[in-house]
Structure 1
Amino acid sequence: MNSGDRNEFTLRHLDEPEIEFDGGSETSPKRGLLKYGPRLYESDHHTIKLGVIGDRDSIRHLSELLHDMNTGIHPGSRDNPWQVPFPGLGESSKINLSINDKKGWRRKIRRRDIKTVTGESTPKKRIETFLELIQTDIDIIEQDSVRPSVIVVCIPQRVIDACTPDRQDYAKIQYGGQNQEEGSDLRSRIKLMGMNARIPTQLIKPETLDMRTDRQRASRAWNLTVGLLYKSQRGHPWKTQQIEEGTCYAGISFYKQRTTDGNIARAALAHVFHGRDHIILQSDPLPDITEDENGSPHLSYEAAKSVGEQILDYYERQLGTRPSRFVLHKPSLYWDEERNGILDATDGVRDLDLVWIRRNPQIRVFPPTDYPTLRGTLFSSSNEDTHYLYTTGYIPEETTYQGSGVPAPIEIRPDRICETQSLKLCKEILLFTKLDWNTSEFSVRMPATIRVASRVGDVLSEVDTESVVDVQPQYFYYM
């Protein structure tokens, strides 16, 4: 390589962003909840009204976990300070929460029900039979004079075994082939049932309730509490003050909605404004999606313009004004048609930032220590304006790396249509890895703009043209 062709690289570490709780800020969700309590919307104490659907064993295991959650769970010793104890629930709880799971909100999946499911001849029929059982139970719970705020659905292991096709693992219980119209995802279908009933759902698999150590029990307790709280009070338990007022952030993901004649391509949009919430938008049908050589979808000019207009129209309806800055995160490069469509849609917006975020770039940074790369490490190629950000890695505040294997960065590339400095864009993306309220973990790998949009697409792909589903914009129905 000639000296004139050499690229210049910079290596820096970004400060860990803080998140806001009820009375203070912290870098860790667990420590923040323990110190200050969650953001509550109605009173100083919140009761989660919990409906439960499950078989005998799963209801028993869940009841045991809820009992432990009431008394508190200490996960480890002083040698593991990052393992934050679960403080317990109840009127005197440090996190100001209780759980009410009265028997009237419980529906038992009986042995004869499971036998009916497993007796069907194909995975497709077994899934449909099981879904009919769940729909009946949700309908009965929904009719209670005082409805629960969340329904937990515990899926029995025999149902998982019976509904999982050969050569497919338990991570995604789905029948059918590779074509989208042939498959149906069990989790997404139950999410849509809850959406129709206006009761968010929480799915639990048997391995989640199979806890051998206090560390596992504390981890399950924290994650379950955070997810149930967000769904129960219909609002996030922490927020951030670091998002500038007047800035609209959005992420885009693509999915195919099944129809009787084939597939309709759509975009799922996770829309964040002023740190309030993830607002979910479903695009109009997109007939002109093109895939590149890597299989990544791209929009036509008309589709890109429509997507941009839809986001900004919703922002203006909610806040009464158009944003002064619009940031769009996308998991693939921007083509000219997409760029031009979004430019025309955002006419009048002062600053437009188009950013490509890729999950698995082929680059790693190895520090000269025995520790993994620090979360927040940013490795930048100045000449190409390409940046590799470690959103996972060793966390000094936690004195640990909680992942498995060698941590890997995500790739961030500002488009040529981008007004904001790259360093600021990377700092914002690091912040968004702390704004997924489906977990109590320190952070997640992908920013919420992309991560949420992808999850939403998984659920909305199950809404076929024959379904009667009133699609809702709130993220808690999808998580």
Structure 2
Amino acid sequence: MKVKVLSEPLLEFGKGTHICPRSGIERLGVYDQKDEFRKTELRLGIVGRGDGIDKLDIWLEKCRTGILPKESKLANLFKGFGGITESYGFHTKLLSSTAYTRTLQKSLLNKISNTKIREDRVNEAVELYYDQIRFLTENRAVDVIICVIPKDLFEQVTKLTEKNSEDNDQLDSYMEHNFRRLLKAKSMHLGVPLQLVLENTIDDDKVARDQQDDATKAWNFCTALYYKGNRTVPWRLVEERYKPRSCYVGIGFYKSRDGETISTSLAQVFDEFGHGVILRGTPVALDKEDKRPFMTEEQAYELLNNALSEYDKALMQMPARVVIHKSSQFRASEIAGFNRAIEEKSIRTKDYVSITETDLRLFGETNYPPKRGTLLTISENEGLLYTRGFVDFYKTYPGMYIPSPLRIIASENDSSIEDLCEEVLGLTKMNWNNTQLDGRTPITIECAKKVGEIMKYVNEHEKPQVSYSFYM
């Protein structure tokens, strides 16, 4: 066994490289600014009650003009937001107007509040927002639609009735009938991504102590809007020219809404720059002993074969290497199916990597946890990798809880375990919903989880959107 701290992966921006998404955008501009077809204006559709729309208007103006950093000695962690303008950072501007705004009636919101059964409240709230979303997509040229959710409505759709609010199955009930996921799934066919915002998170008078500072919220909010509106990437991993062109596939599983079927969810099929597509698999079986889902050889073959065909269609060439990330161990049947698909496509290099939790911990000589990037190599095929931990750039550990490493196991690998862990570390920085540089899981696994959460609400006969922007 040996311990090594991997270098923080570099990200590429418009005019250079940096390790931090915020500093990179601020100093070097978004990566795709040189794309002549990139949008320099994002047209925002807005749905909400009158008070919420007013609060959003104030928040958008703050985002346009810039927000001072939180008072702190940790300047790199709490970076001010310089604004979203055509001449700086994002090199775009946010457009909003009353013509692109739909106001919800108070009487309809009150009607939902008076509905006794939570599931009915959720369905009514989804229909209320969906009707206005559909109007905007059919009658206005919008790039992203922001749905402003009142605090009291949010509470009404995330709790049961007073009579049985203490039931033990409350959490499961909430998870299986989720307002956010239902709304995104129902609106998906309209072809415009949604951004949901809670009123109290943009209300200056009601900012809770446990919320992020305004500048951090603006960074995450505007980056998500930019990614969703442009369908391009604000940063990407630096290309390593000596490596073969790689395709990253993240696989996860999700339950059907009735809980009877477990389907396989194939997350984005990524190239190394973060571009990708999403595919949906077929129902799978559970292992009789450990109750974990797995694919038959034929299912694994079909899933990867379809994924590679989509990759070829998008990039007009096959990858030289395939990396499959899975949040559970690979079964023999899955490996056989994946191998068959790869051999048929004449792909020479492959790496099958399971990324799971572990109870093992490492301890440093200081009061801080191990550094992000700390790798304990256990064998040629196994390692423990800290993706959260002390960050030199931040001069602190930016988390609230003691971090735990990821267990990285290569079932079949042409690359070394260290190289595979370096890739995992880089892919933790490819989530455009968060601009802090120390993501917990790689985008392959994170996306699989997010896709599965929403895919269960998408009708099996409906073709789901292929862009991650509809799921994040």
Counterparts of 2:276 and 2:438, CA distance in 1:
16
Instruction: Report what 2:246 is aligned to.
Output: 247
- Deviation, 1:422, is 0.8
Find the aligned partners of 1:156 and 1:356 in 2 and give their Cα distance.
Answer: 40
Instruction: State the secondary structure of the residue aligned to 1:121.
Output: coil
What is residue 57 of structure 1 aligned with on the other side? 51
* SS, match of residue 440 in structure 2: coil
Q: Which amino acid aligns with 1:199?
A: V
Tell me which of 247, 271, 275 is aligned to 2:269. 271
Could you tell me the TM-score, scaled by structure 1's length?
Answer: 0.88
Q: 3-state SS of the aligned residue for 1:80?
A: coil
Shift of 1:257: 3.6
Residue type of the partner of 1:184?
A: H
Alignment equivalent of 2:222, drawn from 220, 225, 234: 225
RMSD: 2.6
Quote the Cα distance in structure 2 between the aligned partners of 1:62 and 1:107. 13
Q: Which residue of 2 aligns with 1:159?
A: 153
Gaps of 5+ in 1: 1-8, 169-174
Q: Which residue of 2 aligns with 1:428?
A: 423
The structural deviation recorded for 1:176 is 8.5
Q: What SS does the aligned partner of 1:329 have? A: strand
Is 1:37–2:29 an aligned residue pair? yes
Cα displacement string for residues 64-104 of structure 1 (whole angstroms, at most 9, x for unaligned residues): 22121222111134722212110023344343221111111
Distance in structure 2 (CA, Å) of the matches to 1:132 and 1:167:
20
Q: 1:77 to 1:269 in 2, by over 3 A?
A: closer
Residue 313 (str. 1) matches residue 339 (str. 2): no
Contact map agreement 2:319 2:347 (CA 8 A) in 1: yes
> Are 2:160 and 2:170, in contact at CA under 8 Å, matched by a contact in 1?
no
Give the Cα–Cα distance (whole angstroms) in 1 for the partners of residues 47 and 392 of structure 2: 40
- Partner residue, 1:186: 179
How far off is 1:256 after superposition? Answer: 3.0
Q: Distance in 2 between matches of 1:28 and 1:291?
A: 42
Are the aligned partners of 1:257 and 1:463 in contact in 2 as well (CA < 8 Å)? no
Uncovered stretches (5+) of structure 2, i.e. residues with no partner:
163-168
1:147 deviation in Å?
Answer: 1.5
Decide whether the 8 Å contact of 2:146 with 2:195 is kept in 1.
yes
Deviation of the 1:456 alpha carbon = 0.6
The correspondence of residues 64-463 of structure 1 with structure 2, limited to 5 A, is 64-77=58-71, 79-82=73-76, 83-144=78-139, 146-166=140-160, 178=172, 183-210=176-203, 212=207, 216-242=213-239, 244-258=243-257, 262-263=260-261, 265-283=263-281, 285-286=282-283, 288-291=284-287, 293-347=289-343, 348-358=346-356, 360-382=357-379, 385-415=381-411, 417-463=412-458
Query: Matches of 1:400 and 1:60 in 2, distance apart?
Result: 37
Indicate if the aligned counterparts of 2:373 and 2:386 stay in contact, CA closer than 8 A.
yes
Give the structure-2-normalised TM-score.
Answer: 0.90
Alpha-carbon separation, structure 1, partners of 2:249 and 2:39: 32
Q: Could you tell me whether the CA contact under 8 Å between 1:156 and 1:206 is conserved in 2?
A: yes
Q: d(CA) in 2 for partners of 1:477 and 1:148?
A: 14
Q: 1:215 to 1:189 in 2, by over 3 A?
A: closer
Report the alpha carbon displacement of residue 459 of structure 1 after superposing the two structures with TM: 0.9
Distance 1:197 1:455 in 2: 19
Q: 2:375 corresponds to which letter in structure 1?
A: L
Match of 2:237, SS? coil
Q: Structure 1 CA distance, aligned partners of 2:373 and 2:397?
A: 13
Amino acid at match of 2:117: T
| Residues 401-442 of structure 1: per-residue CA shift (max 9 Å, x gap) | 221111111110111x21111110000000000111112111
1:12-61: per-residue Cα shift (whole Å, max 9, x none)?
00000011111111000000000011123346872221111112332222
Distance 1:422 1:389 in 2: 10
> Which residue in the other structure is 1:5 paired with?
none
Q: What letter is aligned with 1:192?
A: A
Residue 29 of structure 1 aligns to which amino acid in structure 2?
A: P
Distance 1:94 1:234, change over 3 A: closer
Do the aligned partners of 2:143 and 2:229 also contact (CA within 8 Å) in 1?
yes
Q: Which amino acid aligns with 1:203?
A: L
One-letter amino acid of the structure 2 residue matched with residue 232 of structure 1: G
Give CA deviations for 1:128-164 in whole Å, capped at 9, x if unaligned.
11111111101221233x4121001112222222222
CA-to-partner distance for each residue in 1:340-387, whole Å, 9 max, x for gaps?
1111111122112111100x21011111013222111111213x7321
Residue 264 of structure 1, CA deviation: 5.8
* Secondary structure class of the residue paired with 1:20: strand
Give how far 1:231 is off. Answer: 0.7
Cα distance in 2 for residues equivalent to 1:420 and 1:441:
28
The change in CA–CA distance for 1:18 and 1:177 in structure 2 (over 3 A counts) is: closer
97-106 or 205-214, which moves further after superposition?
A: 205-214
Displacement of 1:262 after TM fit?
Answer: 4.9
- CA contact 1:257–1:464 (8 Å) conserved in 2: no
Asked whether the equivalents of residues 257 and 266 of structure 1 are also in contact (C-alpha less than 8 Å), the reply is no
1:276 Cα deviation after fit: 4.3
1:48 aligns with 2:10: no
Does the 8 A contact of 2:286 with 2:294 survive in 1? Answer: yes
Query: Within 1, Cα distance between the matches of 2:452 and 2:72?
Result: 42
CA distance in 2, matches of 1:365, 1:94: 38
Does structure 2 retain, via aligned residues, the 8 Å contact 1:257–1:461? yes
Specify whether residues 278 and 44 from structure 1 end up closer, same or farther in structure 2 by C-alpha distance, changes over 3 A only.
Answer: closer
Aligned equivalents of 2:220, 2:82: Cα separation in 1: 13
1:22 to 4, 14, 27: 14
Counting aligned pairs with the same residue, the percent is 27
Report the CA distance shift for 1:22/1:183 in structure 2 as closer, same or farther (over 3 A).
same
Cα pair distance change 1:90/1:185, threshold 3 Å:
same
Give the aligned residue type for 2:182: R
Q: Secondary structure at the match of 2:313?
A: helix
Superposed displacement of residue 193, structure 1: 3.6
